[in-house]
């Protein structure tokens, strides 16, 4: 896969811009605050009709303008697609088109192999469970179109159940009332668990190999999905997971009524990183933790490659967080992507060497929301 062209109108700090890209590595250079990350965000939004950041839709609209509009062409699955995403701020209305036809789903989710690596991801191990769940949900939604629907419905049910628990904990009939929510929690939650377990298992095997390349005499990396269910059930059929989920909900019913919120479900699960069976968050060095995340990101790319579609890889200001050795190791793992977009500051050391070593075909300089190709 690769992005061929991108047209931006009123997106972030870009008033109007039209860019042409080639397969391979594309470096986007410029000082901080000029729009480098916004350009990567536009590419991501074109493919998935949402930002990789946790911003509201109105935040993507250029200041004092009524809408934003993105249009681009991508090459995917042996053909070209024309993508369009538009959003009207006042009406809060988004329109998504693929080849001129309006679609309801968020762009090419489930079909578009794209991996995004932002500086916050380097701190994934050190952050809390909520951040790791958000990471899982963002990445898995790109792989499986139904996952986003299940997650949206599940989160809505958790919210409704929590309201019911807070408002009806003293009621003699609250147990019967909550059965309605629990039934939906079991259905959608079981499918979320199954999909998470499948993705983490695939990534974990590849990440362990990548980490051993970064530290050939170092500890062994394991990445595990931590859920409330028995480990054996992660390879079970959805019906078996549903039965175990139902039993756990029944066992926790009294405590949930007492505490006033939902205690059981994938909304409380986590992603665990282990080095030689020891929790990396507690025992690994900062460098080892970051290398584990790099190994995981490379695993996501390799997972796409196994499906015979080379992905697009976005690195947003990640190099500034790494020393020279880690940069080299990082790119040795990532260089096989179909197309790579990465940002660098103008002061980034070793750029000329990097450009020559990896035969970078295109470089853009960004200044005040304008991007110009460097010769």
Which is more confidently placed, 320 or 252?
Answer: 252
Contacts of residue 81, Cβ cutoff 8 Å, sequence gap at least 6: 73, 74, 75, 98, 99, 108
Rounded to two decimals, what is the model's pTM? 0.90
The H-assigned helical ranges of 307-370 are 324-334, 351-357
**Of 19-23, 219-223, 285-289, which range is least confident?**
285-289
How many residues does the structure list for the chain? 375
How far is residue 241's CA from residue 194's CA, in Å, rounded to a whole number?
Answer: 8
DSSP 271: E
How far is residue 250's CA from residue 175's CA, in Å, rounded to a whole number?
Answer: 10
Domain ranges of the chain: 1-113+309-375, 121-307
**Of 22-31, 65-74, 263-272, 347-356, which range is least confident?**
347-356
Contacts of residue 117, Cβ cutoff 8 Å, sequence gap at least 6: 297, 313, 314, 315, 316, 318
Residue 182 reports pLDDT greater than 80: yes
pLDDT of residue 105: 67
Contacts of residue 237, Cβ cutoff 8 Å, sequence gap at least 6: none
DSSP 61: B
Contacts of residue 265, Cβ cutoff 8 Å, sequence gap at least 6: 154, 158, 185, 189, 228, 245
State residue 94 phi and psi, 5-degree precision.
-110, 140
Most confident by average pLDDT, 116-120, 277-281, 308-312, 331-335: 277-281
Per the CB < 8 A criterion, the answer to whether 202 and 136 are in contact is no
pLDDT of residue 112: 85
Residue 353 reports pLDDT greater than 90: no
Which is more confidently placed, 139 or 356?
Answer: 139
**pLDDT tens for each residue of 323-342:** 777 777 777 788 778 999 99
How does residue 163 score in pLDDT terms, banded at 50, 70 and 90? confident
How does residue 188 score in pLDDT terms, banded at 50, 70 and 90? very high
In the CATH hierarchy, which fold is given to the domain comprising 121-307?
Answer: Glutathione S-transferase Yfyf (Class Pi); Chain A, domain 2 (1.20.1050)
pLDDT of residue 100: 95
CATH 3.40.50.150 fits 1-113+309-375, yes or no: no
How many Cα atoms are found within 13 Å in the side-chain-facing hemisphere of 288? Answer: 22
The mean pLDDT of the chain is 89
Which is more confidently placed, 117 or 167?
Answer: 117
Mean pLDDT of all residues in 206-232? 89
Cα 130 to chain centroid distance, Å, stands at 13
C-beta atoms surrounding 262 within 10 Å? 23
pLDDT of residue 97: 95
Mean pLDDT of all residues in 140-168? 89
pLDDT of residue 137: 92
How far is residue 44's CA from residue 67's CA, in Å, rounded to a whole number?
Answer: 18
* DSSP H or E stretch at residue 302: helix 286-306
pLDDT of residue 53: 85
């Amino acid at each position: 896969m690769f992005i061929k062209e991108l047209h931006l109108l009123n997106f972030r700090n870009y008033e109007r811009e039209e860019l042409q890209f080639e397969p391979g590595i594309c470096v986007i250079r410029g000082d901080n605050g000029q729009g480098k990350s916004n350009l990567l965000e536009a590419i991501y939004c074109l493919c998935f009709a949402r930002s990789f950041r946790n911003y509201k839709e109105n935040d993507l609209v250029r200041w004092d303008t009524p809408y934003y509009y993105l249009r681009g062409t991508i090459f995917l699955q042996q053909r070209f697609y024309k993508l369009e995403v538009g959003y009207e701020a006042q009406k809060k209305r988004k329109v998504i088109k693929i080849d001129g036809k309006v679609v309801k789903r968020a762009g090419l989710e489930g079909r578009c192999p794209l991996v995004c690596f932002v500086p916050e991801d380097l701190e994934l191990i050190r952050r809390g469970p909520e951040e790791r769940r958000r990471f899982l949900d963002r990445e898995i939604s790109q792989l499986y179109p139904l996952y986003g629907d299940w997650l949206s419905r599940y989160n809505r049910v958790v919210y409704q159940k929590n309201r019911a628990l807070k408002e009806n904990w003293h009621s003699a009939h609250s147990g019967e009332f909550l059965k309605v929510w629990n039934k939906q929690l079991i259905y959608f939650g079981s499918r979320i668990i199954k999909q998470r377990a499948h993705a983490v298992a695939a990534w974990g095997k590849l990440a362990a190999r990548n980490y051993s390349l970064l530290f050939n005499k170092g500890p062994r990396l394991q990445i595990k999905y931590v859920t409330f269910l028995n480990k054996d059930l992660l390879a079970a059929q959805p019906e078996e997971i549903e039965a175990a989920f139902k039993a756990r909900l029944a066992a926790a019913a009294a405590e949930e009524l007492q505490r006033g919120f939902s205690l059981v479900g994938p909304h409380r699960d986590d992603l665990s990183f282990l080095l030689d069976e020891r929790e990396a968050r507690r025992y690994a060095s900062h460098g080892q933790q970051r290398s584990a995340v790099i190994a995981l990101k490379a695993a996501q790319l390799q997972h796409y490659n196994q499906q015979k579609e080379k992905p697009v890889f976005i690195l947003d200001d990640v190099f500034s967080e790494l020393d020279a050795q880690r940069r080299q190791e990082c790119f040795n793992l990532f260089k096989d992507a179909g197309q790579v977009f990465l940002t660098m500051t103008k002061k980034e050391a070793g750029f000329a060497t990097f450009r020559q070593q990896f035969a970078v075909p295109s470089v853009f300089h960004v200044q005040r929301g304008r991007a110009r190709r460097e010769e």
